[in-house]
């Protein structure tokens, strides 16, 4: 069953990646082109030669972007299916569709929303080359700490739910997560590398497009995987029921 769920998770991930690719092509690529034009004009004004283009923008914005999106989508879908298989029946009596949607929301918050609140994505021409290692380490460190905060909130929430009830216990666990994330983000280093003359509209719309792409990706995985997984889980439940009756 786990293997069949994994396959369907990867299918959902690839489908989600394709929709995210279309979203990025429509809303994100225009902002990247504007950012590149800003960077080129700034380099020209400073008398610096243009950087060699190892891969053309046409390839980057089409085949390159699609290939990257599909690879990430398949990986995310496989991980999502693995987590779903572990969580199903262990964190409450959720239907496959409800659990899939719930896990997708949780994944979006932990892996996307929380890290982006501290380190939002930036287009080309934003960020200094000498700090790229620090920025990369800080971003992935934020993801790791977000996972740890979610795990701590989950472990804290289970006894709270037994003591306070489902609703109050869940709210208390969410409060624990928010407090932990606030403390972590306050302690992480800040990155202020946006040029003063960079167009604010381009920066804002690029970040909107990047966030929208992630929303499309995780929403599609969450809504598509549940219906794909339901027949497998129902079949497994029927087999288990038949085996129990024979005993």
Pick from 157, 14, 149: nearest CA to 80:
14
Within its chain, how far is the Cα of 195 from the centroid? 27
Residue-level pLDDT at 115: 94
Contact 152, 82 (CB under 8 A): no
Other beta carbons within 10 angstroms of residue 156's beta carbon come to 17
Residue-level pLDDT at 51: 66
Pick from 214, 97, 93, 87: nearest CA to 151:
87
C-alpha span between 111 and 191 (Å, rounded): 19
* Tens-digit pLDDT string for the chain (247 aa): 678 889 999 999 999 999 999 999 888 888 888 888 887 787 777 666 666 666 666 777 778 888 888 898 999 999 999 999 888 887 777 888 999 999 999 999 999 999 999 999 888 878 777 788 888 899 999 999 999 999 999 888 888 888 888 788 889 989 999 999 999 999 998 888 888 888 889 899 999 999 999 999 999 999 999 999 988 888 776 565 554 455 5
Sign of CA dihedral 132, 137, 139, 140: positive
């Amino acid at each position: 069953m786990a293997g069949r769920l994994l396959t369907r998770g990867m299918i959902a991930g690839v489908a989600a990646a394709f929709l995210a690719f279309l979203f990025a092509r429509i809303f994100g690529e225009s902002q990247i082109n504007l950012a590149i034009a800003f960077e080129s004009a700034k380099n020209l004004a400073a008398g610096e030669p243009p950087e060699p283009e190892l891969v053309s923008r046409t390839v980057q914005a089409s085949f390159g972007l699609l290939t990257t999106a599909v690879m990430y989508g398949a990986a995310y879908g496989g991980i999502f299916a693995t987590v779903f298989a572990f969580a199903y029946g262990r964190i409450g009596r959720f239907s496959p569709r409800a659990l899939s949607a719930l896990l997708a929301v949780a994944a979006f918050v932990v892996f996307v929303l929380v890290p982006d609140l501290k380190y939002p994505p930036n287009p080309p021409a934003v960020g200094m080359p000498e700090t790229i290692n620090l920025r990369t380490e800080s971003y992935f460190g934020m993801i790791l700490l977000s996972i740890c905060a979610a795990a701590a909130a989950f472990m804290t929430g289970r006894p709270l739910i037994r003591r306070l009830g489902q609703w109050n216990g869940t709210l208390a666990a969410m409060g624990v997560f928010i407090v932990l994330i606030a403390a972590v983000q306050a302690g992480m280093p800040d990155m202020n590398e946006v040029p003063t003359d960079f167009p604010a509209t381009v920066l804002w719309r690029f970040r909107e497009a990047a966030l929208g792409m992630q929303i499309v990706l995780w929403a599609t995985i969450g809504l598509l995987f549940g219906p794909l997984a339901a027949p497998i889980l129902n079949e497994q439940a029927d087999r288990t029921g038949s085996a129990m009756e024979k005993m």
